[in-house]
């Protein structure tokens, strides 16, 4: 399983764009990159997933450079309700990588 490294915490203000970067230097060829969001006292919720280049949905964008050793979750115009922990996961369903392993995540605090 590829190990991921994220900042422990980030602060932002309402209306700003927030970028959270995740490092995954030993990502394997079959691995996808997935981000989850967790609010206090709730289970994590899927945000976005990608393999390479850029993926965008109604919530966020995910930027993955050509070497795939890092990825950046971009949240446009954050609001107070985006305050949460964001987890980056790397893995695939092939071989032994059936586990879904979370790192420590990034605590994003959005300030008024």
Partner 1 sequence: NAGVTQTPKFRILKIGQSMTLQCAQDMNHNYMYWYRQDPGMGLKLIYYSVGAGITDKGEVPNGYNVSRSTTEDFPLRLELAAPSQTSVYFCASRPRQQNTEAFFGQGTRLTVV
The Cα–Cα gap between 77 and 99 comes to: 33
One residue of 10, 23, 32, 72 binding partner 1 per CB under 8 A: 32
47 within 8 A of 60, measured Cβ to Cβ: yes
Q: Does 94 bind partner 1 (CB under 8 A)?
A: yes
CB of 57 to partner 1, least distance (A): 11
Q: In terms of CB distance, is 56 or 94 closer to partner 1?
A: 94
Q: Does 43 bind partner 1 (CB under 8 A)?
A: yes
Q: In terms of CB distance, is 58 or 112 closer to partner 1?
A: 58
The Cα–Cα gap between 12 and 78 comes to: 8
68 within 8 A of 16, measured Cβ to Cβ: no
The Cα–Cα gap between 71 and 69 comes to: 7
- According to DSSP, the β-strands at 45-50 and 53-56 are unpaired
Q: In terms of CB distance, is 75 or 85 closer to partner 1?
A: 85
Residues forming contacts to partner 1 in the complex (CB under 8 A) are 32, 34, 36, 41-46, 49, 85, 87, 92-94, 98-105
């Amino acid at each position: 399983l590829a190990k991921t490294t994220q900042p422990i915490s980030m602060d932002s203000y309402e209306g700003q764009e927030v970028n959270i970067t995740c490092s995954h230097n030993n990502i394997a060829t079959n691995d996808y990159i997935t981000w989850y969001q967790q609010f206090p006292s709730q289970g994590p919720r899927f945000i976005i997933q990608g393999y390479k280049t850029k993926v965008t949905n109604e919530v966020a964008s995910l930027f993955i450079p050509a070497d795939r050793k890092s990825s950046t979750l971009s949240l446009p115009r954050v609001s107070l309700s985006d305050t949460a922990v964001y987890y980056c996961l790397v893995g695939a369903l092939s071989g032994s990588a059936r586990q879904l392993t979370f790192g420590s995540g990034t605590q994003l605090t959005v300030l008024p």
